[in-house]
Structure 1
Amino acid sequence: MSDTVRTPPTGGDAPLTLTEAPGRSLGLRDSLGLWGNLGVSLLLPVAAVFVVLPGRPLAQTLGAVVVGAVVGALLLGIGAAAGAREGVPAMVLLRGLLGRRTSWLPTAFNLVQCVGWATFEIVIIAEAASRVLDAPRWPFALGAGVLATLMALRPLGVVRLLARYAIWAAVLAIGYLYVEVLLEPLPELTEGAAPSFWTAADIVIALPVSWFPLAADYTRHVRSGRAAFAGAGIGYGLATIVMFTLGVLALAAYGSSGLDVVDALLAAPLGAVAVLVLVAVELDEAFANLYSTAVSAQNVAPRADRRVLAVVVGAVATVLALTFDIAAYEPFLFLIGAVFVPLVGVFAVAYGVTPRGAWDTSDTARARPLFLLPWAAGFVAYQLTLPTYFGGPGSGWTAWWTARQEQLGIDPANGWSASLIGLGVAAALTALLCLPSVLGRRRSAR
């Protein structure tokens, strides 16, 4: 229930402020198209080197990709379905978990990560385009920033275009690249960064989960929770498998690494055309982050016009892409992502045991600071399993958590999934917090 969302929408697109009700104009096809496009990203083939299990059969690496994508997509689907049922953006949805003012804490984290990822996407687009066309990077960064900002002004119209046209262009480009890669010999990979199956799966899990704080911003416009769950889970899950697998196969076929995967794909006949199509499709990730930054800010300022917010955020991200080495910022973005992984576990349990219609997202949602404890515990469990890399080689952050591992007798090369352990700890502690209220409802129902 919500006191914030009151008046009917003023137009055919997303509401301009949080005080307007969202239109329910998106169906399963729109949802599948949106999430399929968001999953088609050049970042995934580039990151494939981190999921490769060196010296092991290729099937094991591909198995880790599938397992990670399925787990991550299921978690993403939970947030997407909740957004459709409650009809509110993602950060407002967290009012039901933490209370209105306490939800400002994850909102602050999300604002930082959304601006950062929008900037990083603009850089990736500009870098890939400059390599394809052998031209300076800055015009492409400027153009990508402007186009992504314009897309954020009419988000639902963009979603429909993605579902009807962009997804098919992406499918054709990816299909062509697969054919070219599979025509090459695929020897076993002897170089890679994943020390274990679950560490590799962990990298893949992180990608769908990173969209959890944004999912409801879009699925609040989907007509049913089932369509939202299927669209996000199937659309993003399949795209994740396809793009990571393309990167792994390219590494095997061409023996490249990191951004060199893009150069390897460019070497294929018509590879430049296919990569340019994927570069154009990459705009939707930048647009989604810009739009979600604006909508997240409305959790604190509900009457702020999302168009004004989107223009401001788009300008900031574009300037950052033009002036900063965003690659140095990437470890911090993964640290912020690790913050949200256990929050998914807390939310999933608390939302699952709450009776339908009792999830309070209103302006008067009471504070529930106790739920910060399982969130924090899950984050600690994540860091003790696999400390995030932040601050450069020998950084105090990573060294501190590594020292705690040593004190607790945890092998730094344990090979466990930090995502699953963080989720499990957070979910288990949340279940304990929710147990008294669940038992109380059962007793009163007798």
Structure 2
Amino acid sequence: MATPVSSVGRDAAPTARDGDAPLTLTEPAPRPFGLRDVLGFWGNLGISLLLPVAASFVVLPGRPLWVSMAAIVVGAAIGSVLLGLGAAAGAREGVPMMVLLRGLLGRRVSYLPTALNLVQCVGWATFEIWVIAEAAARALHLPRWPFVLAAGVAATLMALRPLGAVRVLARYAVWAALACTAYLFVDVLTHPIAPAGSGGATSFWTAADIVVALPVSWFPLVADYTRHARGPRTAFTGATVGYGLATVAFFALGVLALSAYRAAGLDVIGALLAVPLGAVAVGVLVVVELDEAFANIYSTALSAQNIAARLDRRILAALVGALATLLAFTLDVLSYEPFLFLIGATFVPLVGVFVVRYFLVPRGAWDTSDRARARPVLLVPWAAGFVAYQLTLPSALAGAAAGWTAWWGRWQADLGIDPANGWSASLVSLVVAAALTAVVSLPAVVRRATPERPA
């Protein structure tokens, strides 16, 4: 059993005053979620309008449509299995993800990924609120700003009672979303599917990288929810299957909609709205989309508690919700693609480091307490994986940050790496980080496995 984050036992009765998730890290987490809850929740998170919007970055121009579809399946399989491994660890240890990283890096060193995750969560919450408002405004032909405000307020209110929100999403909202998704699929498939004329992917593996980035972006949050699952197997199965299937379905829906309505010159949202009764179906999906915004707001609050364990999550969630709503008024959606690449570049290698280290160490040796000792040496494989990612596929930043991309491009030239190599930056990064972690961890594993000689 892992060392708890406070003197309160992991299996003690919950003490949150509102009967929901603990208010601070000093309280234990209840475990009410069975397989149906975990499967429904992560399936619902995977049902997102952001995925069809990102589908244009997955399409391989001039290639048969099945190649893009295969890239979606491969990327979803890789990303969702990684997500499931993090989900299982969260259920086993019973703590949020950023606290779980104390066992990897130590308490104080875990503040580094915590800071990155705070930025990521606020960014994702902002994107989700923007997508909700944009789709609603276009469906109803109204200004966008009232929907930005409404979405921000609704998501924040859900984050105040997260376990109740998860139950509603898992047991009811997911079925409405599935019905609308099935309707959109049936209608899109009644149109001739034209070959892909244009798209953002340059190779099979760059397309798969975009898909991998979606489930991996949830890895730093996954234990925030699966710590409430009844067991690791339940958490792994629910997260992997639920999010994986939804990812395949929604990326495929976006690719098919682009192909079916390509002659009309419509983008993904425009194509879905062009479907008869499409506005109604998209409207339901817009409401369901609130779960992504809620999850990011709530997880930002939990991540902040890794640094300040006694802060009330409700106050933190209210502040984060207000910030994300304000940012959604000024969001530049063209930054979405490099944002996904940058997330992959940062968190894919960390996933590799975590998975190898966690499953190498003996059970019960994962210390998530305030006394977890620092392991800065594990920053080395994480950094090496990040470098490997950038050398394979530099994050394409724009504006004032464009020099970043050019700098990595010069390193590619110096090392003889073809910028159009077509490799999977995610897999290269993951393998480099995982291999170095195994090398760094080997002495400690051997030392623990060697029995002590009697005096």
Answer yes or no: is 1:53 the counterpart of 2:40: no
Q: Residue type matched to 1:139 in 2?
A: P
Answer yes or no: is 1:399 the counterpart of 2:420: no
Instruction: For residues 154-205 of structure 1, give each alpha carbon's deviation from its aligned partner in whole angstroms, at most 9, with x where no partner exists.
Output: 1111111011110000000000000000000112112112111111111101
Q: State TM-score, norm by structure 2.
A: 0.95
> In the alignment, which residue of structure 1 is the partner of 2:163?
156
1:105, CA displacement in angstroms? 0.3
> In the alignment, which residue of structure 2 is the partner of 1:10?
15
SS at 2:104 equivalent:
helix
1:38, CA displacement in angstroms? 0.5
1:440, CA displacement in angstroms? 2.2
> In the alignment, which residue of structure 2 is the partner of 1:228?
235
> In the alignment, which residue of structure 2 is the partner of 1:311?
318
> In the alignment, which residue of structure 2 is the partner of 1:268?
275
SS at 1:395 equivalent:
helix
SS at 2:276 equivalent:
coil
1:327, CA displacement in angstroms? 2.5
Q: Which runs of 4+ in 1 moved over 6 A?
A: 256-259
**Rounded Cα–Cα distance in structure 2 between residues aligned with 1:259 and 1:370:** 50
1:437, CA displacement in angstroms? 1.7
**Rounded Cα–Cα distance in structure 1 between residues aligned with 2:219 and 2:277:** 36
1:257, CA displacement in angstroms? 10
Give yes or no for contact 1:120–1:326 (8 Å, CA) kept in 2.
no
Q: Residue type matched to 2:153 in 1?
A: V
CA distance 1:38–1:389, shift in 2 (3 Å):
same
User: Aligned to 2:176, which of 149, 169, 182?
Assistant: 169
**Rounded Cα–Cα distance in structure 1 between residues aligned with 2:415 and 2:400:** 23
> In the alignment, which residue of structure 1 is the partner of 2:331?
325
CA distance 1:25–1:257, shift in 2 (3 Å):
farther
SS at 1:35 equivalent:
helix
**What are the equivalent positions in structure 2 for 1:130-279 lying under 5 Å apart?**
130-255=137-262, 260-279=267-286
Give yes or no for contact 2:125–2:324 (8 Å, CA) kept in 1.
yes
SS at 2:451 equivalent:
helix
Q: Residue type matched to 2:372 in 1?
A: A
1:442, CA displacement in angstroms? 3.0
> In the alignment, which residue of structure 1 is the partner of 2:99?
92
Instruction: For residues 111-166 of structure 1, give each alpha carbon's deviation from its aligned partner in whole angstroms, at most 9, with x where no partner exists.
Output: 01101110111011000000000001010000000000000011111111011110
1:329, CA displacement in angstroms? 5.1
SS at 2:294 equivalent:
helix
Q: Residue type matched to 2:419 in 1?
A: P
**Rounded Cα–Cα distance in structure 1 between residues aligned with 2:7 and 2:162:** 21
Q: Residue type matched to 1:343 in 2?
A: L
Residues matched between the structures, number: 445
CA distance 1:45–1:416, shift in 2 (3 Å):
same
Give yes or no for contact 1:342–1:375 (8 Å, CA) kept in 2.
yes
Q: State TM-score, norm by structure 1.
A: 0.97
**What are the equivalent positions in structure 2 for 1:326-345 lying under 5 Å apart?**
326-327=332-333, 330=336, 331-332=338-339, 334-345=341-352
Instruction: For residues 80-115 of structure 1, give each alpha carbon's deviation from its aligned partner in whole angstroms, at most 9, with x where no partner exists.
Output: 100000000000000000000000000000001101
Give yes or no for contact 1:117–1:333 (8 Å, CA) kept in 2.
no
Q: Residue type matched to 1:10 in 2?
A: T
Structure 1 range deviating more: 55-64 or 277-286:
55-64
**Rounded Cα–Cα distance in structure 2 between residues aligned with 1:401 and 1:63:** 29
RMSD: 1.6
SS at 1:211 equivalent:
helix
**Rounded Cα–Cα distance in structure 2 between residues aligned with 1:190 and 1:168:** 34
> In the alignment, which residue of structure 2 is the partner of 1:351?
358
Q: Residue type matched to 1:285 in 2?
A: E
1:251, CA displacement in angstroms? 1.3
Q: Residue type matched to 2:134 in 1?
A: E
1:9, CA displacement in angstroms? 2.0
Structure 1 range deviating more: 257-266 or 145-154:
257-266
**Rounded Cα–Cα distance in structure 1 between residues aligned with 2:14 and 2:49:** 35
CA distance 1:74–1:3, shift in 2 (3 Å):
closer
Give yes or no for contact 1:49–1:257 (8 Å, CA) kept in 2.
no
1:394, CA displacement in angstroms? 8.2
1:393, CA displacement in angstroms? 8.5
1:405, CA displacement in angstroms? 0.4
Answer yes or no: is 1:107 the counterpart of 2:108: no
> In the alignment, which residue of structure 1 is the partner of 2:26?
19
Percent identity for Structure 1 against Structure 2:
69
Listed as ranges, the gaps of 5+ residues in structure 1 are: none
Instruction: For residues 336-360 of structure 1, give each alpha carbon's deviation from its aligned partner in whole angstroms, at most 9, with x where no partner exists.
Output: 4421110000000000101111100
Q: Residue type matched to 2:191 in 1?
A: E
**Rounded Cα–Cα distance in structure 1 between residues aligned with 2:340 and 2:63:** 30
> In the alignment, which residue of structure 1 is the partner of 2:306?
299
> In the alignment, which residue of structure 1 is the partner of 2:129?
122
Answer yes or no: is 1:32 the counterpart of 2:39: yes
Answer yes or no: is 1:411 the counterpart of 2:424: no
**Rounded Cα–Cα distance in structure 1 between residues aligned with 2:147 and 2:355:** 40
**Rounded Cα–Cα distance in structure 2 between residues aligned with 1:48 and 1:131:** 19
Give yes or no for contact 1:121–1:282 (8 Å, CA) kept in 2.
yes
Listed as ranges, the gaps of 5+ residues in structure 2 are: none
